[in-house]
Amino acid sequence: MTVLIVTFSQDNESIPLVVKEIEARGEKAFRFDTDRYPTEVQLDIYSEDLERVIITDGEQQLDLSEVSSVWYRRMRYGQKIPNSMDKQYRDASIKECRVTVRGMIASLQGFHLDRMSNVDRANNKQLQLKVAKEVGLLTPRTLTSNNPVAVKKFAQDCQQGIITKMLSSFAIYDEQGRENVVFTTPITATDLENMEGLRFCPMTFQENVPKALELRTTIIGHHIFTAAVDSQNWERATYDWRKEGRALAKNWQPYKLPEDIEKKLLKLMAEFGLNYGAIDIIVTPDGRHIFLEVNPVGEFFWLEIYAPHYPISQAIAEVLLTRKN
């Protein structure tokens, strides 16, 4: 039994953690780094009477007929294609890499954690909020708009103020290639008077929900692991704990979600056909649980390495090897 792990070469500790658990059970894992394809890794797809797909990475080779499960992690298609290549040709090459790899994954038999079509659907944040409300979860009041007038009216209606965030993963890179992530940010009165930029890019605005705790709930199959952190003791983490992610890594503590919230989250996962999800929740000072979002390929490694040492990689390996939804 072989598990194909589709990721990229700079992915974090999550990969070796899961590989270790797979190998501890006497099974194999093969890592396919999408950023090293096509410059360093070869992919041969034969669409003939006898269909075959072969991945070759140096001395390692995998016939995908041996694959029983696929773990769909992180994609960085063709990132090692030289930047010196003409931009039009480079962009075209990366696009061809993307459709080739995604087509290969979509055509694979066996168990997928999770199917790309389900991941793509679940990545629609507006749909997430809609489904969350339908299953009975509380969500923040939300506006996505390119209309300054609508944003100002929305701000007036939200007595606790509003924050802004991006629906997509968004970062700006400096001249040294360092990543500057766009975090959740409060909107000031001055910001409301300077909304001209909405002409070029819509933004998502939400009511500012008071926080007693922030939760990360990781669901794998029917395993539910929830951890809590008090981000409000850290000034930079007030609106987005990720700003102090490293500093807070050891501050997460086990948290028991109410049973009815767990049931609603499992129903949300079922609606999207997901076996894996990393879910962000706010616990308000009056004890309400406010659903923010689910990331179908979200991170978990710090909850295993630091505190509270949840066996998440073990649960992922179990689902991949037993192939039980």
Q: Are residues 224 and 302 in the same domain?
A: yes
Q: Are residues 149 and 107 in the same domain?
A: no
Q: Are residues 33 and 101 in the same domain?
A: yes
Q: Are residues 182 and 216 in the same domain?
A: no
Report which of 322, 251, 323, 299 is spatially closest to residue 17, judged by C-alpha positions: 299
Report which of 322, 293, 301 is spatially closest to residue 124, judged by C-alpha positions: 293
Distance from the Cα of residue 293 to its chain's centroid: 10
The answer on pLDDT for 246 being more than 80 is no
Count of structural domains within the chain: 3
Q: Are residues 12 and 109 in the same domain?
A: yes
Task: Summarize pLDDT for 149-198 with one digit per residue, the tens.
Answer: 999 999 999 999 998 988 876 666 556 556 666 788 889 999 999 999 99
Q: Are residues 160 and 196 in the same domain?
A: yes
| Residues linked to residue 42 through DSSP beta bridges, in sequence order | 56
On whether the CB atoms of residues 126 and 144 are closer than 8 A, the answer is: yes
Write the CB contacts of 274 (distance below 8 Å, at least 6 apart in sequence): 114, 118, 119, 122, 219, 294, 296
Q: Are residues 299 and 284 in the same domain?
A: yes
Q: Are residues 7 and 109 in the same domain?
A: yes
pLDDT for 177: 56
Q: What is the pTM of this model?
A: 0.90
Summary mean pLDDT of the chain: 91
Average pLDDT over residues 231-249: 78
Q: Residue 255 maps to which CATH number?
A: 3.30.470.20
Q: Residue 60 maps to which CATH number?
A: 3.40.50
Q: Are residues 224 and 312 in the same domain?
A: yes
Last residue of a domain, one of 207, 226, 258: 207
Q: Are residues 250 and 299 in the same domain?
A: yes
Average pLDDT over residues 301-318: 93
| More confident: 308 or 296 | 296
Q: Are residues 195 and 268 in the same domain?
A: no
Range(s) of the domain holding residue 178 = 141-207
Q: Which amino acid is at 276?
A: Y
Q: Are residues 201 and 146 in the same domain?
A: yes
Report which of 12, 30, 26, 118 is spatially closest to residue 69, judged by C-alpha positions: 30
Q: Residue 154 maps to which CATH number?
A: 3.30.1490
